[in-house]
Structure 1
Amino acid sequence: MGVAIRRAGEGDREAVTRLLDEAFQDDPVSGWVFPDAEHRRRRHPLLMGAFLDIVLDEGYVDITEDGSACALWFSVPAEAHEEDEDGPALLREAVDPENERVELIGRLTADIHPKGRAHEYLWMIAVAPGRQGEGLGTALIEHVLGRCDGEGLAAYLEASSSRSRVLYERLGFASTGRVLDLPSGPPMWPMWREANRSAGRAGSAGS
């Protein structure tokens, strides 16, 4: 039985923010941004809400029909516009003004992001803690990768843990050869996936 997926909207903001917060509270990168657990519990939901607002405005959010998992995506053109230099600083000011790591994570990931080719960018994917291991994340990613294969589009992401990196490798992503080592923190693995044109042709033939 397949996983029902729909496009999230403004009406889903509260539920999706809560889902992102629950799913990433114990993520290595979230722990680096907010090292103190109590401070993280207070500020992390604000960061997730700010991230979600950016994606609702500039990208798109896919969510399972039961609300147990979601994926935040951007469609990046080959000639992407220049990054907003003030964006990370404004995010820090809105979320946690005294915490330079809120700003730094945005600048570091922007610096390593591939340029010059159109692609779909998986910014974040979240599965409710009690529903992990059911294939929901895979279903959400494959939902977009199928379109990528049909349109000849590449896809990109940054894995924030070794566990997620293994999942992405199974879906055809490979390391770009660069590792982002956060200062005094965990590594992140930039990963790229070329379109599987044979899969795209097979899907078109069978539709």
Structure 2
Amino acid sequence: MSREPQVERATDAAVAAGTLTAGFMADPVMRWIFDTPQKYLTGFPRFAAAMHGAAFAHDMTFQVGDHAGVAIWLPPGVQGDSEGVVAAIQDKVAPEKMPEMFEIAAQVGGAHPDYPHWYLPWLAVDPARQSQGLGARLMKHSLRIVDESGLPAWLESPNPRNIPFYERHGFEVVGRTQTATAPPIHWMLRPGRG
């Protein structure tokens, strides 16, 4: 049905953004941040691009099924564009939510391991193609590369329904955000292999 996931080049960033936007449309945290369809459709793609932009330069973006699924990894030591993240949400988030947004960012940033690790900011499958094993194929493919390094992998799951999926791939919940009104984001770590 679909071919083995292929490394995407930066020229595929717009297509990957479409998959991410479709895949996160019903995500509890993303919809708390971008609380109207218009805010989501205009803000989320910029937010996602700021979080993962460097991945394209490091050939750590994978797709499967003609971009029905996308996994975007940041290698050890590579970070997203924090200024770009703030710019993407600044005019989309209600002013009364901004203090909580900064608290979430502080909690997430403080939880990241302070030792070399791989980071999976995004894994998404188009809702029309979910439950076909595409996400699992992306994880298996990319985790082979991660495992070659022997380093651990880290992710945040803003949707509790996805936790069992990540656990099947060796991740463990190690904490979560706790704020006044935002849904929790669960932190997950996969020990290094190899």
Q: TM-score, normalised by structure 2?
A: 0.82
55-64 or 101-110: which moved more? 101-110
Compute the displacement of 1:106 (Å).
Answer: 4.1
Native 8 Å contact 1:43 1:95 kept in 2: yes
Which of residues 178, 185, 193 in structure 2 aligns to 1:188? Answer: 185
| One-letter amino acid matched to 2:82 | P
Partner of 1:122: 120
For the 8 Å contact 2:39–2:92, the answer to whether it is kept is no
Task: Report the residue type matching 1:38 in the other structure.
Answer: Q
Shift of 1:11: 1.4
Deviation at 1:96, TM superposition (A): 3.6
Greater C-alpha Rg:
1
SS in 2 for 1:184: coil
**Residue type of the alignment partner of 1:112:** A
Which of the pair has the greater relative contact order for Cα pairs under 8 Å at 6+ separation?
2
Q: Distance in 1 between matches of 2:125 and 2:55?
A: 17
User: 1:167 matched to which residue of 2?
Assistant: 165
Aligned 8 A contact 2:54 2:74 in 1: no
Q: After alignment, is 17-26 or 107-116 more displaced?
A: 107-116
Verify the 8 A CA contact 2:51 2:121 in the aligned structure 1: no
Q: Structure 2: where are the runs of 5+ without partners?
A: none
Q: How many residues align?
A: 189
Q: Deviations over 1:185-204 (max 9, x none)?
A: 1111111111344xxxxxxx
Aligned equivalent of 1:75: 75
- The answer to whether the 8 A contact 1:28-1:161 is kept is yes
Aligned counterpart, 1:24 = 24
Runs of 5+ in structure 1 lacking a partner? 198-207
What is aligned with 1:201? none
Return the TM-score normalized by structure 1: 0.78
CA RMSD, 1 decimal: 2.7
Match of 1:200 in 2: none
Aligned equivalent of 2:86: 92
From 140, 149, 152, give the equivalent of 1:142: 140
Helix, strand or coil at the partner of 1:187: coil
Amino acid at match of 1:190: W
Range with bigger deviation, 100-109 or 133-142: 100-109
Q: How far apart, in 1, do the equivalents of 2:30 and 2:16 lie?
A: 17
The offset of 1:10, in angstroms, is 2.0
**Conserved in 2, the CA contact under 8 Å of 1:17 and 1:52?**
no
Take 2:54 and 2:180, find their aligned partners in 1: how far apart are those partners? Answer: 25
C-alpha distance in structure 2 between counterparts of 1:44 and 1:148, whole Å: 27
| Structure 1 residues 78-124: Cα deviation after superposition (integer angstroms, max 9, x where no partner) | xx8xx79xx534432255436336666544321211112x2211111
**Percent same amino acid at aligned positions?**
25
C-alpha contact 1:157 1:192 (8 A) present in aligned 2:
yes
Which residue number in structure 1 is paired with residue 6 of structure 2? 6
